[in-house]
Structure 1
Amino acid sequence: MEQRNYKNAQTFGYTKDVLPTLKNNRTWTIRNYSTVWIGSVHNIPNYLTVGGLLTLGLSVMQVFFAIISASIILAAVMILNGHAGSKYGLPFSMLLRSSYGHNGALIMGVMRGIIAAIMWFGLQTFAGSQALLILIGKTWPPFLQLGGAWQLLGLSLPQLISFILFWCLNIAFIFGGMSLLSKFSNVLSPLVYLVFGGMTIWAIQLAGGIGPIIHHQGSEPNLNELVLLLSAITAILAAWAAPMVSISDFTRMARSQKDQAIGQALGLIIPYILFAFSSISIIIGSEIAFGTPIWNVLDVINRFDNEFAIGLAVLTLCLTTVSVNVTGNIIPAGYQLAALFPKRLNLSSGAMIAAVLGIIIMPWKLMENAGSILIFLNSIGAILGPLTGVMLAHYFIIARTEIDLNALYSKSETYHYLNGFNVKALISTGAAGTLCLLGQFIGFFNPLYQISWIAGTGMAAALYILFELPNLSSSNHQHM
């Protein structure tokens, strides 16, 4: 049956990259999934997020609680939204059709696979290039003086060179494929624990022990405490808003449902427990030691007095940032562009186009201060949270995990809805997202904006199920 679906799909002009993965090509095990996200946990924007949360006035224990809570929710959503990929071998761009329709999927795919992915790709690339700049500057100090006061669009010559070099490093993984990414993750994992474990010990020693870190008092909170705590959880989840939507691009490689479920639970919750301990210790410990808040982990590393330690820490951050950039941004963008233009683009060419666009958006503007990263995360959460809510509601409640692959890849009426658009899904997504985004400009809706991913996901799912209640009641009556 599966082989027949594969051949039928080919007759409609699809490239191999967007066809269902055949059973004998699904080779990812628990080990693959338990290591692939480690770099995505320990990367520069995640440390920036924790720094931003601490500047809001959250206590150390509140931030720790928020990180652990977010990791459990994250693992659950990744496993659930990855179910269809594992069961059918479907990439995200095609799975999207089942809930939004053939044409509606293009709109939602552009939001995730192009807009969000390109924004994230640009941000991660600039963050990694800043780490690379430190590494080059420590090994060759004159590099930092190249070009003098010359700037291009806000970047000095050393920053521009570092950005281009790091961009090229990301591009190399496009052509290396998923097998190279899997091998890279296996090598990166022990290095992450070594480096960040060492940084944590260093920060605790600087602070005079773990006690001063735990009892550290930050600034006064500027929001209701519950909203503040939920906004912290949202910020962490929003950093994963894009991968949560398109996780089927990775679970389509799973050997079994058990492999992806156990692997992702282990690969997200355990690293996040360690991340919570290390990130808080590093940021607060350095603040205590140096007497000033340091929200950017790169500024912390730059204060090390050991050249080898700086080099190893920066190299690891560069590699973890490449890992998350490839897994969470460039591969989904490539798949989505290939799905939009199946006869002209494949994964590699689509990813290259996305990578070029990631430069054009000038991503360095997203890392100007601690507040800018949180504004970015809340906006991403408002855009992609509702998409996740509708996908989960449709697959588990409306479709009951059943997808007709032949209909999905053909012009069948099953997923055609109204002229190719599932209007109920689109209205649910648009309404939830709009209400969350309004909170940035209208005070009454601000609490929704502060918890944009949680609010958007919940509202969109509830609204979509409400729209589908007549069909659900009819279906239940037929089964009785």
Structure 2
Amino acid sequence: MKQEDSIMYSKDLLPTSPEARTWKFGHYFSIWMGSVHNVPSYVTIGGFFALGLSIWQVFFIIILSALILAAMMILNGHAGGKYGIPFSILIRSSFGRKGATFPGILRGVVAAIMWFGLQTYAGSLAVTILIGEIWAPYPTLGANWSFLGLSLSSLISLLLFWIINVLFIFTGIKSLGRLTKLLSPLVFVVFGGMAIWAIHFAGGITPILNYRSKGVDGNSILIILSCISAILASWVAQILSVSDVTRYSRSNKEQFWGQAAGLLSTYLLFAIASITIIIGSEVAFGVPIWNVLEVIDRFDSKFAIVLSLLTICLSTLSVNIVGNIIPAGSQLAALLPKSLNFKSGAILAALMGLLIMPWKLMENPESIFTFLNMVGGMLSPVIGVMLVHYFLINKKEINLQELYSIKINMLITNEYHIPAILSTLLAGSLSLLGKFIPSLEPLYRVSWFSGILVSAILYLIFYYLSNWFIARRLEQNTASIPKRG
């Protein structure tokens, strides 16, 4: 690589060496379990039942979402598995070196840091309950003392969980692999146990299967599509940066089958557990329980409570590292290669995740999640552009020397790939306008689908139009050169 290109990257962003590519089927089978089995996911399914959907409609939504998600993870993870490159470098292929800054900052800085702070605080709540089960006075520690709205026990739990997250920055990708393998059996035992608990209190499986929904008003197809879009929208950031983890795979076959089997089996368990918990609790207690922490609180075994809370903490830790810390560290290292490497970038992101005071943000969840949904609405079109560029235009071939070079050979000069940027902005704006313009509301409700499909179509059109335009300009310039006679 040329000397002048060295300012473009840190060594952490180089293609993964063969000896570092150690992840096998088992790693990818379990890596996303924390992203599926968490409190927000169960609350989302509760919201589907609140809309009046039936058990079988919700089951269909969850399984179809899992199939689509697995396909997207595998497809967008292919380049990482083949070339060993992270998202912050891969995105340059379709957007140009400088053009990649916009989607990179949205995903790797804004969304990752915000979600890191929120997930860290959410995990700390489970830590407080967990320690309280072991040492009863802990939740009331410090009496009325508070720091910026946090009680002493809440502050200790937050810092403790934050430190555990940060430790994984230094322990490396092997420790993350061990964590995900440990989490796999725990998830099946704990959430499978919750399903059995709900069936028991409901008086068996029959009362749950006989549950009758209130019925859906209006266009049920649009509602079902919007529910699928809601599940997939929560994954848009992970889909984008999946190459950050597939770059460690021994082969694309390992990440293909690992992610497919892991996501489908995990979502099958999630479908059974979430439906039985929510409907079973409504049959048993007259009120549906959407929060799994409330389910755990009703257990009469201290061992079951501690094991369940520990699993929730580990699930949150897993998704926080994979979905937030790794992308944020890589992106900051790509933005400031002279000043930061992956570890220093990840630590900076973790500090920023505390400084945004996530406990304050969660006091008004509507505004913060509206903001994050808008960021997600702009990110889903990036997926469409990346997939079209890699599979249809590049035919799965990437010139790494060119990708890491200052002088990237793009259709449009000065390192901004205009077709990609324009397609993303137009598709994202069209989806988000539905929040403000009633006639476009259906596009907003299915923004995950509309963002990807519209951007993919626009990108193909703009790409070949720009290609045709450049070819015409070259012909005209060639024709204008006087011939020597």
Query: What TM-score, normalized by structure 2, do the two folds share?
Result: 0.90
In structure 2, the partner of 1:74 is 69
Q: 2:464 aligns with which of 446, 463, 469?
A: 469
In structure 2, the partner of 1:385 is 380
In structure 2, the partner of 1:96 is 91
Is this contact kept in 2: 1:9–1:406, CA < 8 A? no
Question: What SS does structure 2 have at the residue aligned with 1:292?
Answer: coil
Q: Percent identity?
A: 55
Structure 1 residues 84, 185: closer, same or farther in 2, change over 3 A? Answer: same
Q: What's the C-alpha RMSD, in Å, of the aligned pairs?
A: 2.6
1:446 maps onto 2:436 in alignment: no
1:265 maps onto 2:260 in alignment: yes
CA deviation profile, 1:402-422 (whole Å, cap 9, x unmatched): 211111111224148332211
Tell me by how many angstroms 1:102 deviates.
0.6
Is this contact kept in 2: 1:433–1:456, CA < 8 A? yes
Tell me by how many angstroms 1:370 deviates.
9.2
In structure 2, the partner of 1:332 is 327
Tell me by how many angstroms 1:13 deviates.
5.8
Between 1:274-283 and 1:44-53, the stretch displaced more is 44-53
Letter in 1 for 2:62: I
Letter in 2 for 1:123: L
Between 1:206-215 and 1:456-465, the stretch displaced more is 206-215
CA distance in 2, matches of 1:462, 1:390: 9
Question: What SS does structure 1 have at the residue aligned with 2:409?
Answer: helix
Written as runs of structure 1 = structure 2, the 5 A alignment for 1:410-421 is 410-415=405-410, 417-421=412-416
Written as runs of structure 1 = structure 2, the 5 A alignment for 1:208-227 is 208-218=203-213, 221=216, 224-227=219-222
Structure 1 residues 157, 284: closer, same or farther in 2, change over 3 A? Answer: farther
Structure 1 residues 377, 130: closer, same or farther in 2, change over 3 A? Answer: same
1:128 maps onto 2:123 in alignment: yes
In structure 2, the partner of 1:478 is none
CA deviation profile, 1:22-54 (whole Å, cap 9, x unmatched): 234322222221122223222233223223333
In structure 2, the partner of 1:352 is 347
CA distance in 1, matches of 2:434, 2:142: 43
CA deviation profile, 1:119-153 (whole Å, cap 9, x unmatched): 22122212211211211222222222234455545
Question: What SS does structure 2 have at the residue aligned with 1:244?
Answer: helix
Tell me by how many angstroms 1:9 deviates.
9.3
Structure 1 residues 370, 332: closer, same or farther in 2, change over 3 A? Answer: closer
Q: 1:437 aligns with which of 432, 442, 449?
A: 432
Tell me by how many angstroms 1:467 deviates.
1.0
1:113 maps onto 2:108 in alignment: yes
Tell me by how many angstroms 1:281 deviates.
1.3
In structure 1, the partner of 2:314 is 319
Letter in 2 for 1:394: H
Tell me by how many angstroms 1:342 deviates.
0.9
Tell me by how many angstroms 1:317 deviates.
0.6
CA distance in 2, matches of 1:186, 1:106: 34
Q: 1:206 aligns with which of 174, 193, 201?
A: 201
CA distance in 2, matches of 1:241, 1:365: 25
CA distance in 1, matches of 2:215, 2:103: 39
Between 1:441-450 and 1:347-356, the stretch displaced more is 441-450
Tell me by how many angstroms 1:438 deviates.
2.2
Structure 1 residues 454, 305: closer, same or farther in 2, change over 3 A? Answer: same
Tell me by how many angstroms 1:110 deviates.
0.2
In structure 2, the partner of 1:252 is 247
In structure 2, the partner of 1:197 is 192
Q: 2:356 aligns with which of 361, 370, 391?
A: 361
In structure 1, the partner of 2:29 is 34
CA distance in 1, matches of 2:237, 2:3: 30
Is this contact kept in 1: 2:43–2:290, CA < 8 A? yes
CA distance in 2, matches of 1:119, 1:368: 14
CA distance in 2, matches of 1:457, 1:123: 26
CA distance in 2, matches of 1:446, 1:474: 35
Letter in 1 for 2:453: G
1:57 maps onto 2:52 in alignment: yes
Between 1:424-433 and 1:29-38, the stretch displaced more is 29-38
In structure 1, the partner of 2:475 is none
Structure 1 residues 206, 271: closer, same or farther in 2, change over 3 A? Answer: same
Is this contact kept in 2: 1:58–1:228, CA < 8 A? no
Structure 1 residues 325, 208: closer, same or farther in 2, change over 3 A? Answer: same
Structure 1 residues 99, 399: closer, same or farther in 2, change over 3 A? Answer: same
Letter in 2 for 1:18: L
Is this contact kept in 1: 2:106–2:375, CA < 8 A? no
Letter in 1 for 2:139: L
CA deviation profile, 1:207-238 (whole Å, cap 9, x unmatched): 11222223334556466322221121112111
Between 1:244-253 and 1:161-170, the stretch displaced more is 161-170
CA distance in 2, matches of 1:78, 1:154: 39
Q: Which has the larger radius of gyration?
A: 2
CA distance in 2, matches of 1:403, 1:389: 18
CA distance in 1, matches of 2:158, 2:468: 55
Tell me by how many angstroms 1:20 deviates.
0.9
CA distance in 2, matches of 1:378, 1:345: 29
Written as runs of structure 1 = structure 2, the 5 A alignment for 1:109-188 is 109-188=104-183
CA distance in 2, matches of 1:55, 1:393: 37
CA distance in 2, matches of 1:228, 1:369: 26
Is this contact kept in 1: 2:194–2:295, CA < 8 A? no
Structure 1 residues 467, 62: closer, same or farther in 2, change over 3 A? Answer: same
CA distance in 2, matches of 1:46, 1:170: 21
The aligned length equals 471
Gaps of 5+ in 2: 471-485
Letter in 1 for 2:279: I
1:394 maps onto 2:389 in alignment: yes
Is this contact kept in 2: 1:235–1:374, CA < 8 A? no
Is this contact kept in 2: 1:436–1:449, CA < 8 A? yes
Tell me by how many angstroms 1:109 deviates.
0.5
In structure 2, the partner of 1:238 is 233
CA deviation profile, 1:84-111 (whole Å, cap 9, x unmatched): 1111111110011010011011111001
Tell me by how many angstroms 1:395 deviates.
0.9
Letter in 1 for 2:99: G
